[in-house]
Structure 1
Amino acid sequence: MSQFQLSQRSLTRLIGVHPDLVAVVKLAIRRTPADFTVVEGVRTVAQQCEYVARGTSKTMNSYHLPQADGLGHAVDLAPLTGGAIPWGDWSKFKGLADVVKACAAELGVPLEWGGDWKTFKDGPHFQIPREWKGRA
């Protein structure tokens, strides 16, 4: 049990995200030994176009965009150290990912972490399958 809770800004960023992924994030904030923030949930097509143009995303087929069920199937989470995101410290993102993946497994929610990708490692990114209908 941690002393952390999601800020109102983080909760707002979870609006429109698949409820099972939201449940994973909400469990993770209760289990994490270090605080984290929700950087982003659902994106618009215009935002995604901008990210692709800047090179911070590689595809217009993002799980952050509303899927067939009308929900976003991705979130970007970042650890906080002294209230700031330690962008250059991969170990902090890996530590957060370990907690998030354990919470997903406990809840029976399939989850992929962008830090496990072979190319374009994306430490903040977590996604559930597009075809995921939800927990039974």
Structure 2
Amino acid sequence: MFVGCLAVLLFVVFPKADPSPIFKSYSYKEEKVKEDVPLPTMLHPLVEKYRDELVASVKKKGIDVVITEGHRTEERQNELYARGRSTDGQVVTNAQAGESYHNYGLAIDFALRTPNGDVVWDTERDDNENGEADWMEVVAVAKDMGFEWGGDWRNFKDYPHLQMDFGLSIRELKRGERPKVEEYADE
């Protein structure tokens, strides 16, 4: 109420004053948007490298992992977002275009291939018969490589999802920030 009275008083006393500074909210960190920074069209080179190493590493454990998604276009992301909402099917993502690490080439999804060739999303299967769920063995190897697993998320469990965010939030990626290849190279 006090702010409203103050604003009315200022408009009466200073009718030509710009009221926007009174009502504008400020953040501690100034938002800088990089202009014309296109979305990547492929996986980040390090994510691609670790994807291939993940597949090879779990193969040695007798697990046949299939990468079902990598980089996604905005159109593909919106198509997936529509599932269970405006189109048939169940909800598979809470992220619209530009809000998924897939759109920035920083995420992959996986499934398992059974000995008879079927692709499954069975988190309890143990085809290599070592007493551990193959799914969780893949997750453990991926985490050791630096991937974050969507199964650890609190609100929306995305069990097939693995991502490397390089310390960047979706908000920063939307503003045009991108991880640099040379900053994260092992060499």
TM-score between both structures, scaled by the size of structure 1: 0.71
Whole-angstrom CA distance in 1 between matches of 2:77 and 2:56:
30
In the other structure, the counterpart of 2:138 is 96
In the other structure, the counterpart of 1:69 is none
Q: Does 1:120 align with 2:179?
A: no
Whole-angstrom CA distance in 2 between matches of 1:120 and 1:112:
14
Q: Does 1:79 align with 2:108?
A: no
Using the TM superposition, give the Cα deviation of residue 81 of structure 1 relative to its aligned residue in structure 2, in angstroms: 1.7
| 1:36-51 equivalent positions in 2, closer than 5 A | 36-51=65-80
Q: Is contact 1:94–1:123 with CA below 8 Å preserved after alignment?
A: no
Using the TM superposition, give the Cα deviation of residue 116 of structure 1 relative to its aligned residue in structure 2, in angstroms: 1.0
Whole-angstrom CA distance in 1 between matches of 2:100 and 2:142:
20
Q: Does 1:133 align with 2:180?
A: yes
Whole-angstrom CA distance in 1 between matches of 2:162 and 2:123:
18
**Cα-Cα RMSD:** 1.9
Identical positions, percent: 33
Using the TM superposition, give the Cα deviation of residue 89 of structure 1 relative to its aligned residue in structure 2, in angstroms: 3.0
Q: Is contact 1:42–1:75 with CA below 8 Å preserved after alignment?
A: yes
Figure out how many residues of one structure are paired with residues of the other and give that number. Answer: 111
TM-score between both structures, scaled by the size of structure 2: 0.53
Give unmatched runs, 5+ long, in structure 2: 1-40, 84-90, 125-132, 169-178
Query: Structure 2 counterpart of 1:81, which letter?
Result: T
Aligned to 1:75, the other structure's residue is in SS state strand
| Cα displacement string for residues 92-129 of structure 1 (whole angstroms, at most 9, x for unaligned residues) | 32221112222x1xxxxx42111111122111111111
In the other structure, the counterpart of 2:49 is 23
| Larger RCO, structures 1/2 (Cα 8 Å, 6+ apart) | 1
Whole-angstrom CA distance in 1 between matches of 2:51 and 2:94:
24
Give unmatched runs, 5+ long, in structure 1: 1-14, 67-71, 105-109
